[in-house]
Amino acid sequence: MSLIARASTAQRRSRVGRSGTDTPIPDNYKWVALFISTLGMLMATIDGSITLIALPDIFRGIGIDPLEAGNSFYLLWMILGFLVVTSVLVTTLGRMGDIYGRVRMYNLGFALFTFFSLLLSVTWMSGHEAGIWLIVLRVFQGVGAAMLMANSTAILTDAFPPGQRGMAMGINQAAAMSGMFIGLVLGGVLAPINWRLIFLVSVPIGLFATVWGYLKLQELSERQPARIDWLGNVTFALGLVLVMVGITYGIEPYGKDTMGWTNPFVLTCLALGIVLLVAFGIIETNVAQPMFRLQLFKIRAFTAGVFASFLAALSRGGLMFMLIIWLQGIWLPLHGYDFSRTPLWAGLAMLPLTAGFLIAGPLSGILSDRYGARPFATGGMIGAAICFGLLELLPIDFSYWLFAMVLFVTGLTMSMFGSPNRAGVMSSLPPEHRGAGSGMNTTFQNSAQVLSIGIFFSLLIVGLSASLPESLYHGLLTHGVSSSAATRASHLPPVSTLFAAFLGYNPVQHLVGTNVLSHLTATQQATLTGRSFFPGLIAAPFRAGLHAALDFAIVASLLAAAASWTRGGRYVYSETPTEGGKIRAEVADADHHQDAASDEASLIAKGASR
């Protein structure tokens, strides 16, 4: 009998009596678990991006100008706060799922997520108080989302036999990746009606999923009682938060510099964060029950998959922002769209990417169940690198069908990596460490997205800084703006221009100001605030920065492909007794037995639990 067949049989037998009830698990339970866990991932990722498109309506609704001096705090943390929280907490909450029960943590996460979504929708304040209120509640909403992300794949791995995990992960990951882009469209549709709807829409779905999860989901793995590693948790959380805060403010201007990488605050955050993360690594090797299971990195399939996931997220994390700015700041205005309407249409323009995710996710997962994760995950990242190269070849004012085709293939290749890679990572883990392992993988992935945003924006700003100020100065001067006003506008940091385009504001109106524009003729005003002046001005500088960012994405994708290839043959953890009652893992393929044996040796007698 093959390993996968033995593991599947053993899992089916173990389901009875391990769920905390005396009733057998129904045959259709795995599909119920798939539906509920996929719904959770979809809602978490939709809410991660739905605010991006809705930000102009949110800030207008509460009476804040996010581009006004001193208000960048609200803009940055409304964009990145949710992602920072989920990055920091998923490992801790995954570990707590191993200790207290994955289903319990997952259901609690859905309840928290729904409760804070409701509170966000009933905000009654305005001005700075409302801004702080929204940021704080988004943080708590992110805690609920982190509970969902940390335990979703572990619940699926428990519910599905090894031969079907790729398919299950494919559906789950396709929902998670497409949710980011569905959120853009949903936010663009709902926010103009009422900005509160972007939060309220999650409430009925969350209530349904919370109740159904409590009624239907069951614990299929034994809990692992342990003490909480408080010192490890605190040093990890503080270290990662400081690093992410440093990256976030690194793209903000500082003094006369266009970016803040020389800002003492940024440097201090990064230095302290790195010191705390190093201290965290030392702590985790010296405590009896660590939060971060460093021993799991002795499993080659786990290590290769996690680092491939990190590099893949690094390659694509900032891509969504680049595409949005490209569409909203240049392409859509050139094709007759008002700046105020560009957020919704940018989301619609990127739907081919979502279609690629939805098609390739389940399909690649099913194929990886049969042939292993390596060929699909590795091939997916090579394909992503090719797609990034194709995006570089497109002119700034592209033909949409070419752009849509590249986006569709990009979605196919990214999803072809994501589903098999996640299934390979989870199948390599001992059952008692699936929550911690899932959280570790998600931490690496989400942290890479924040880092990627910082890198992409930095490269884009460097490209813009080279020629945009001079082009802006001469363009404004030509159309009647005074030399002093044109100089002042051209010296504003490029990130301000990018954020204006990103938010759907008229960038020239923001840069020059209504007072200056009011002194110009009607024709000059119409030219400067029209749909062609700013796109024509920014196209060449933007292209230079975009190409630098895409070059970085290509390199990161190829490194992710190389990391994925090192995972070896298909590796599925299965508890097999050996002499003396020891436990070891097995591989499903005939190749790489020797490499797997060294992995297994680290897990003999469940050494990873020490």
Alpha-carbon distance 466 to 545, whole Å? 9
Of 243, 275, 290, the one marking the end of a domain is 290
**Residue finishing a domain among 242, 263, 290:** 290
Q: What is the mean pLDDT of residues 524-537?
A: 84
User: What does the pLDDT look like over 500-524, one tens digit per residue?
Assistant: 777 777 778 777 888 888 888 888 8
User: How many separate domains does the chain show?
Assistant: 2
What is the model's pLDDT at position 599?
A: 44
Asked if the model's pLDDT at residue 52 lies above 80, the reply is no
Residue 604 has pLDDT above 70, yes or no: no
CA–CA distance, 424 with 435 (Å, rounded to integer): 15
The residue from 264, 290, 316 where one domain ends is 290
Q: What is the rounded radius of gyration, in angstroms, for the C-alpha atoms of the chain?
A: 25
Question: What does the alpha-carbon distance between residue 307 and residue 443 come to, in Å, rounded to a whole number?
Answer: 11
Task: Report the share of the chain in percent with pLDDT over 70.
Answer: 89
d(CA 592, CA 374): 13
User: Is 248 domain-assigned?
Assistant: yes
Residue 251 in domain? yes
Identify whether 234 is part of a domain.
yes
Q: How many CB atoms lie within 10 A of CB 359?
A: 16
**Residue 284 domain-assigned?**
yes
Could you report the per-residue pLDDT of 133-182, keeping only the tens digit for each? 999 999 899 899 888 888 888 888 888 887 788 888 888 877 877 787 78
Q: Is residue 603 part of a domain?
A: yes
Residue among 421, 460, 429, 494 nearest 253 (CA): 494
- Give the tens place of pLDDT for each residue, 270-290: 999 999 989 988 888 888 777
Residue 584's domain comprises: 573-609
C-alpha atoms less than 13 angstroms from C-alpha of 539 in its C-beta half-sphere: 17
Domain assignment present for 136: no
CA dihedral 363, 435, 584, 593 (to 10 degrees): 40
Q: What is the pTM of this model?
A: 0.79
In a domain, 458, yes or no: no
In a domain, 448, yes or no: no
